[in-house]
Amino acid sequence: MDWYSIVKFLHVASAILWVGGGFVLFLLGMLAERADNIEDKLQAICASGRLGGTFFAPLSMLTLIFGLIMCGFWVGFSDLWIIIGLVGYATTFSIGMFIFKPTGERMGAMIAKEGVTPAALAIAQRMMSTARFDYAVMLVIVADMVLKPTAQDIAILAGMALVVVAGATLALGGNRRLVPSPA
């Protein structure tokens, strides 16, 4: 076995744990949202907040580090698929660090102080909306790493752009109400 294979395995394993773990929490939140189960949805969002700094951020950094090692020693940084992957990584890492982490902490503090209020539920809804976009970007990153498109792969690039646009559309306009409407 060579070093490239070992580093590639570590890159893929950390990516699976990072993306897969987050997707499970996102899926739990979506299922709770569809079932109109506020408590389960808040638990999924709070779990995501608790795991953000101790699980997701370290795994995302390991994914990046192992990817950079592969690029630095074997692949290079000039291929389009590498650039798309790095831009996607920067996007989703920024969402996690600058939106999910502080918003989750603020929501957790609000719930600890005041209980589940409409304001806390509104924050949770915004986080779920942002998560729709975040996972669209992650899906594009995974497709990018597998398909390795070049500038000539117009259909693949268009499909990837369509996924990002769909994620943004769902994030901006696909909200479901967490607070039951008064009947």
pLDDT reported for residue 141: 97
Assess if residue 178 is contained within a domain: no
How far is residue 183's CA from residue 177's CA, in Å, rounded to a whole number?
Answer: 14
Determine, yes or no, domain membership for 183: no
On whether residue 35 sits in a domain, the answer given is yes
The verdict on residue 109 lying in a domain is yes
Other C-beta atoms closer than 10 Å to the C-beta of 3 total 11
Check residue 176 and give its pLDDT: 52
The whole domain housing 165 covers 3-173
Q: What type of residue sits at position 119?
A: A
pTM of the model as a whole: 0.86
Q: Kindly report the length of the chain.
A: 183
Per-residue pLDDT, 47: 82
Closest Cα to residue 15, out of 103, 93, 130, 95? Answer: 93
Q: How many domains does the chain have?
A: 1
* 70 within some domain: yes
Q: Residues of 55-91 as b/e, b for ≥16 C-beta within 10 angstroms?
A: bbbebbebbbebbbbbbeeebeeeeebbebbbebbeb
The pLDDT, as a whole number, for residue 183 is: 47
Is residue 53 one of the residues assigned to a domain?
yes
Give 103-162 pLDDT, tens digit per residue: 888 888 888 899 888 888 888 888 888 999 999 999 999 999 999 999 999 999 999 999
DSSP designation for 139: H
What is the rounded average pLDDT of the residues 97-105?
A: 85
pLDDT above 70 covers a percentage of the chain that reads: 95
pLDDT at residue 174 is higher than 70: no
Identify whether the C-beta of residue 48 lies closer than 8 Å to the C-beta of residue 18.
no
Q: Which two tokens stand for residue 94?
A: 């920024």
pLDDT band at 32 (very low <50, low <70, confident <90, very high): confident
Mean pLDDT, the chain, integer: 89
Report yes or no: 133 and 167 within 8 Å, Cβ to Cβ. yes
Burial letters for 7-22: b for 16+ Cβ neighbours within 10 Å, e otherwise? bbebbeebbebbbeeb
20 found inside a domain: yes
> Which pLDDT does position 91 carry in this prediction?
96
